[in-house]
């Protein structure tokens, strides 16, 4: 047979083989956020996480590419912009990326908590105007995040301390406490217990416990069937962590704790949804300080949109000069009552706008701290129209 006559047959055969061979799935991008005590310079750490990535790959039946993070905020940013399909990391990261539609699928059964430890010579507590020198683990770490939330929830500002210093080395705060460099130090509850037993001093405060680590996924990239495979397939894993199925509900409290606004505000009255409804029915003006898009999508009936342009840190002693808020849109009468709200207890815009109003001389500021989420959860009506 003429060899050129074979070419059509060979092409048909090759084409048939190409069609019958399934296409290689694109790799899923797994972000791994290292603990403050871990380093990529440690080969054992890298090997351990490579093995874990293999566990994930086998569970989903799809290639997995790992992206390591030593800074949690970078992982959160990449979760927001769609770079990552999955994230394995500490509780504060899992809680924060939930707002970008990530869904937790499995968590460690082991938990941890943050403790404030007082040195043997310090008799004070975590309180206003304590003047304490405070040492804290890294700002972005789990212990650092919980410590900041405990400080914020008590309405404390940096000015209440002589010094607040964050450390890249997790053991540095307790070491500073031992040397007398600090009056208070933050560490894990386990480390705090061991330290006080050996050095004296006392544990002033222990936070609520949170999961040590967890895996969360983007449902568009990891559908329900694959999530179930991860949930069951990773209960035994190369990290030797005992794991159990997880859901967003497991991290709702973590998100609230890590980002929570203060529970008190001198100069303002804090109200519930039921109280807000009563005040609105009586004609009390209400201001929605969320971004315009959120207001237009849905808001409390009768609320007026006065967006708060937030650039300052989410903390009690925030720098108002970094933010923008139209105080001239509030009532002319500074003795008149009015209400402010935003997106719940983790949203700082209504807190900050209330603070700015108080500083501007308003005498009857009402802060609806639970905001729009609490309003909706109470089954109260909403509306969707432009201002």
Q: How sure is the predictor about 137, in pLDDT bands with cuts at 50, 70 and 90?
A: very high
> For a pLDDT cut of 90, what percent of the chain falls above it?
78
Separation of alpha carbons 286 and 382, rounded Å: 13
Per CATH, is 268-377 categorized as 3.40.250.10?
Answer: yes
| Averaged pLDDT, 245-273 | 88
Distances 113 to 95, 166, 265 between C-alpha atoms, Å: 15, 18, 26
CATH of 28-111+211-259 given 3.40.50.300, 3.20.20.140, 3.40.50.150, 3.40.190.180? 3.40.190.180
Bridge partners for 205 per DSSP = 116
User: Per-residue pLDDT for 24 more than 70?
Assistant: no
Separation of alpha carbons 110 and 242, rounded Å: 7
Lowest mean pLDDT among 70-84, 214-228, 269-283, 352-366: 70-84
User: Which residues make Cβ contacts (< 8 Å) with residue 301, sequence separation at least 6?
Assistant: 280, 381, 382, 383
| Averaged pLDDT, 225-235 | 97
Q: What is the pLDDT of residue 260?
A: 80
Contact 269, 363 (CB under 8 A): no
Separation of alpha carbons 11 and 320, rounded Å: 71
Domain 114-207: CATH superfamily is Periplasmic binding protein-like II (3.40.190.10)
Q: How sure is the predictor about 386, in pLDDT bands with cuts at 50, 70 and 90?
A: low
The residues spanned by each domain of the chain are 28-111+211-259, 114-207, 268-377
Q: What angle do CA 197, 112, 155 make, to 5 degrees?
A: 90
- Among 296, 293, 314, 290, residue whose Cα is nearest residue 373: 290
Q: What is the pLDDT of residue 10?
A: 45
Within this chain, domains 28-111+211-259 and 114-207 share the same CATH topology: yes
60 CB burial (10 A radius; 0-12, 13-18, 19+): buried
Return phi, psi of residue 291, to 5°.
-65, 155
More confident residue, 86 or 23: 86
Q: What is the pLDDT of residue 30?
A: 98
User: How does pLDDT run across 306-317, given as a tens digit for each residue?
Assistant: 999 999 988 888
Q: How sure is the predictor about 345, in pLDDT bands with cuts at 50, 70 and 90?
A: confident
User: Per-residue pLDDT for 123 more than 90?
Assistant: yes
User: How does pLDDT run across 153-199, given as a tens digit for each residue?
Assistant: 888 988 999 999 999 999 999 999 999 999 999 999 999 999 999 99
Q: pTM value?
A: 0.71
Report the chain's mean pLDDT, rounded to a whole number.
91
Q: What is the pLDDT of residue 17?
A: 54
């Amino acid at each position: 047979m003429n060899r050129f006559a074979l070419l059509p047959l060979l092409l048909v055969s090759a084409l048939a083989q190409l069609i019958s061979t399934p296409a290689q799935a694109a790799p899923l991008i797994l972000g791994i956020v290292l603990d403050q005590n871990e380093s990529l310079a440690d080969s054992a750490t890298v090997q351990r996480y490579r093995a874990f990535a293999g566990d994930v790959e086998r569970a989903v039946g799809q290639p997995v590419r790992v992206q390591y993070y030593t800074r949690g905020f970078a992982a959160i940013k990449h979760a927001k912009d769609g770079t990552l399909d999955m994230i394995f990391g500490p509780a504060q990261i899992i809680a924060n990326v939930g707002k970008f539609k990530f869904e937790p699928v499995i968590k460690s059964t082991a938990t941890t908590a943050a403790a404030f430890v007082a040195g043997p010579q310090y008799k004070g507590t975590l309180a206003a105007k304590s003047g304490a020198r405070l040492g804290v683990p890294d700002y972005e770490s789990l212990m650092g995040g919980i410590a900041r939330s405990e400080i914020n929830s008590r309405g404390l500002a940096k000015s209440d301390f002589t010094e607040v210093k964050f450390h890249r080395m997790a053991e540095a705060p307790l070491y500073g406490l031992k040397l007398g460099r600090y009056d208070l130090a933050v560490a894990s509850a386990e480390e705090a217990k061991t330290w006080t037993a050996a050095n004296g001093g006392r544990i002033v405060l222990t936070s609520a416990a949170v999961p040590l680590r967890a895996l969360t996924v983007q449902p568009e990239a990891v559908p329900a069937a694959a999530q179930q495979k991860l949930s069951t397939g990773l209960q035994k894993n190369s990290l030797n962590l005992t794991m159990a199925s997880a859901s967003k509900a497991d991290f709702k409290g973590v998100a609230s704790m890590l980002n929570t606004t203060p529970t008190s505000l001198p100069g303002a009255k804090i109200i519930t949804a039921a109280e807000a409804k009563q005040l609105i029915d009586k004609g009390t003006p209400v201001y929605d300080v969320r971004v315009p898009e959120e207001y237009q999508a849905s808001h409390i009936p009768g609320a007026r949109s006065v967006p708060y342009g937030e650039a300052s840190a989410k903390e009690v002693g925030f720098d108002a000069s970094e933010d923008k808020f139209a105080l001239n849109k509030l009532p002319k009468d500074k003795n008149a009552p009015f209400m402010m709200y935003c997106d719940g207890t983790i949203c700082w815009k209504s807190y900050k706008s209330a603070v700015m109003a108080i500083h501007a001389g308003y005498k009857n500021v009402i802060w609806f701290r639970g905001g729009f989420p609490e309003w909706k959860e109470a089954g109260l009506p909403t509306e969707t129209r432009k201002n």
